[in-house]
Amino acid sequence: MSALTHYIQTHTSDIMLNIFFAFFSFFVSLLLTPKNNSGVNTNGSSIHNTIQFIERNVITHHHHNNSSRNRPRRKDDDDNSALGMWVIGLIVAAFLFVRYHEVIMNFLTGFICFAMVSTITIAVKLYRNNQYDNLNRFWTAVALLIVIVDLFTLKLMRNQVDVSTQADSLSNFIQSVGIDGVMSYAYLAAGFIFVMIPNLLLLVLLIHMYAVNVYLATGSRIAGFIIRKTNPFTIKPALIATIGILLCAMSLLFSSGTMYHWVSKTQDVKLSTTSAEKK
């Protein structure tokens, strides 16, 4: 806990600046967004009715003829090259994660403030406009769950990097931590990547909810265009929520180091079994 407190004290100005801009966007959004008086979508509308309304009144279905392409057969050399690229990618990801760990924590802190305030902003605005239907409530719950996972991830990140680790260059980094250390940090970097995917989904949800609000109030073509582009990510709420929850769970497993320890333990057991069989 002392490490997290030290981090907050060290970056107080940056955190306060992020909070200021988040709350500024809160009030601007409440003031500038017009109110919907059509009564088409209300606070009591069901998820099914809301989806049907969006599909019927906003979404334009375009049919494209997709030409089939013959894919060439993959060769063993291609597989080996792909494996080598994955290994290089993991090493680079681990190095960048360690070198810019403090920057990543600052970014995640600011994003949490922005996401929390934006979610509350849109929820309050929709409720005041009598548009806070069950689908919007569902998306609000999903957004808040992602923010909670972000908070847990930020807490886990405070002790992920050893201060003695040298990350001024890739070669010094590998020499400092060794292969096992590189793999350990690669798993931690993967945890951050996993948590950012639901956060991208969160941004899409916020944009979609806001665009629906604007479309119902003004009939804006721009809002309709945004709804059509973001609709594929929101048309199946249960599926999208399930994928988001699974990614959040994977993120916590990787960020906590649990996945790395499981994999390492499994490999040690296999090596021990193989050695015993040879004897």
- DSSP states of 154-201 as a string? HHHHTTSS-TT---SSHHHHHHHHHHHHHHHHHHHHHHHHHHHHHHHH
Q: Which long-range contacts (CB under 8 A, 24 or more apart) does 26-34 make?
A: 26/117, 26/118, 26/120, 26/121, 29/118, 29/121, 29/122, 29/125, 29/210, 30/121, 30/124, 30/125, 33/125, 33/129, 33/210, 33/213, 33/214, 33/217, 34/214, 34/217, 34/218
Label each residue of 251-275 as H, E or C.
Answer: HHHHHCCHHHHHHHHHHHHHHHHHH
pLDDT at 16: 61
- Closest-CA residue to 194 (of 110, 236, 250): 250
Which pLDDT tens digits describe the chain residue by residue (279 residues)? 455 556 555 656 666 656 655 555 555 555 455 555 555 555 555 666 666 656 666 664 433 434 444 445 555 555 567 767 887 888 888 889 988 888 888 888 888 888 888 888 888 888 887 778 888 889 899 999 999 999 999 999 888 887 667 778 888 888 888 888 888 899 999 999 999 999 998 888 888 888 887 787 777 788 888 888 888 877 788 898 999 999 999 999 999 989 989 988 887 777 777 766 665
CA distance 51 to 54: 5
- Closest-CA residue to 161 (of 260, 92, 95): 95
**Domain ranges across the chain:** 2-29+49-57+86-264
Tokens of 212: 């629906």
CA distance 152 to 155: 5
**Rounded alpha-carbon distances, angstroms, from residue 207 to 57, 142, 153:** 18, 14, 24
CA distance 127 to 227: 20
pLDDT at 150: 93
| Size (the chain), residues | 279
Tokens of 193: 């990547």
Is residue 276 within 8 Å of 216, Cβ to Cβ? no
- Closest-CA residue to 227 (of 207, 245, 250, 202): 207
CA distance 36 to 52: 19
Contacts of 28 (CB under 8 A, 6+ apart): none
